Amino acid sequence: MIKAGIIGATGYTGAELVRILSGHRETELAGLTSQSYSGQGFGSVFPSAAGFNDLVLEPQDAGKLAERCDIIFTALPHGISMEVVQEVVNKGKRVIDLGADYRFDRIDVYEKWYKVSHKTPELAAKSVYGLPEIHREEVEKAVVIGNPGCYPTSIILGLAPLLKNHLINTDTIIADSKSGISGGGRGLNLAFHYSECNENFKAYNIGVHRHTPEIEQELGKLAGEDITVSFTPHLVPMTRGILSTVYATLTEVKTTEDLLELYDEFYNDEFFIRIHPRGQYPQTKWVYGSNFCDIGLTVDPRTNRVVVVSAIDNLVKGASGQAVQNMNILFGLPEKTGLDYVPVFP
């Protein structure tokens, strides 16, 4: 059995990791930490998990936890993971960081957008961006995995076949994304109070969202050139889900059928990518609680643009489920282990 520990187990992504790993037949949860709920049973903090996981939450001691684990997940805010990850690596263990500290190829880009100095740049230089469908071979050999952000996951997977085949003008990419409230985390924030977000729909951080450079980094790798995108996130009054609608101008004449065939071929062996037929576009309800990324598209011949729609659950494929998928790769397990269940509907 793989012994796993979670540092930061009582945020939304940490709790989602506990939920998924509690049903993972090849993994045993060996320890959970929480600064806010130390000393309490996980099942008492999250009654939904009672009977499935009743581990007592521990104070944060990364080195001590790493000694009894094979893999550590860090579900901490950016800027906080760095020293924790270094402690785990010093113990000779592998780590998957669900924050932003190990997602970037260039430290200066990270520091510019996140407004913090990186304390472990040498470790960051060796980390792997953990989007399995794109970087599987690198993930297999990684010691530190920077688990992708939720918005980037939906956008990168939506555009990868087009960029890899040079079928769109990279100067014309516009990504319009909507996310559920859980994407803002579990901490108190006025913007996420019920009376503020219920029956409301808003754009935020236009042009300055911190996921922008992560999106551009990975799209640029696929295209083989530097890319600048227009990315606008929106907050939708629902609990889970991300729907991204991405627009780009085609470099040659293609039909919807042509591109659907391309996507089917590109993602042919990917269990978690589901390509929808012509005229059917993904909905967040279709992936709720699951590790799937659903993709639909159409070509608008009037404007010579392709419109790609992708849907994920921001807490699963956009965070914790993808982290477990990465863990499965690290330990040579089938990628869908612990993740092969039907989404919840309605």
Question: What is the pLDDT at residue 284?
Answer: 98
DSSP bridge partners of 203 = 234
Residue 192 — very low, low, confident or very high, per pLDDT cuts 50/70/90?
A: confident
pLDDT over 90 (residue 189): no
Q: How far apart, in whole angstroms, are the C-alpha atoms of residue 192 and residue 182?
A: 9
Q: Which of 152, 231, 187, 207 is nearest to 80 (CA)?
A: 187
Q: Is the pTM of this model over 0.85?
A: yes
Measured distance CA(60)–CA(39) in Å, rounded: 11
pLDDT at 282 over 90: yes
Averaged pLDDT, 249-259: 97
Location of each CATH 3.40.50.720 domain in the chain: 2-126
Residue 293: its pLDDT value, please? 98
Mean pLDDT in residue range 259-263 = 98
Torsion sign (Cα): 153, 332, 54, 289: positive
pLDDT bucket at 158, cuts 50 / 70 / 90: very high
> What pLDDT, on a 0 to 100 scale, did the predictor assign at position 190?
85
Mean pLDDT in residue range 102-126 = 97
Q: Residue 152's pLDDT is what?
A: 98
Predicted pLDDT at 200? 94
Instruction: Inform me whether the pLDDT recorded for 103 exceeds 90.
Output: yes
CA pseudo-torsion sign 19, 22, 28, 30: positive
The CA distance from 336 to 176, in Å, is 29
CATH architecture of the domain 151-314 equals 2-Layer Sandwich (3.30)
pLDDT value at 166 more than 90: yes
Answer yes or no: CATH 3.40.50.720 is held by domain 2-126.
yes
Residue intervals of the chain classified under CATH 3.30.360.10 are 151-314
Q: What is the pLDDT of residue 314?
A: 98
Q: Given a cut of 90, is residue 33 above it in pLDDT? A: yes
50-87 pLDDT, tens per residue? 999 889 999 999 999 999 999 999 999 999 999 899 99
User: Mean pLDDT across the stretch 253-278?
Assistant: 98
Q: What is the mean pLDDT of residues 168-182?
A: 97
Mean pLDDT rounded to a whole number for the chain: 96
Cis peptide before 346 (omega within 30 of 0): yes
**Residues annotated catalytic, as ranges:** 150
pLDDT at 332: 98
309-317: average pLDDT:
98
DSSP string across 224-275 = TS----EEEEEE-SSSS-EEEEEEEEBSS---HHHHHHHHHHHTTT-TTEEE
% of the chain with per-residue pLDDT over 70: 100
**Both tokens assigned to 184:** 């803002």
Residue 187 has pLDDT above 90, yes or no: no
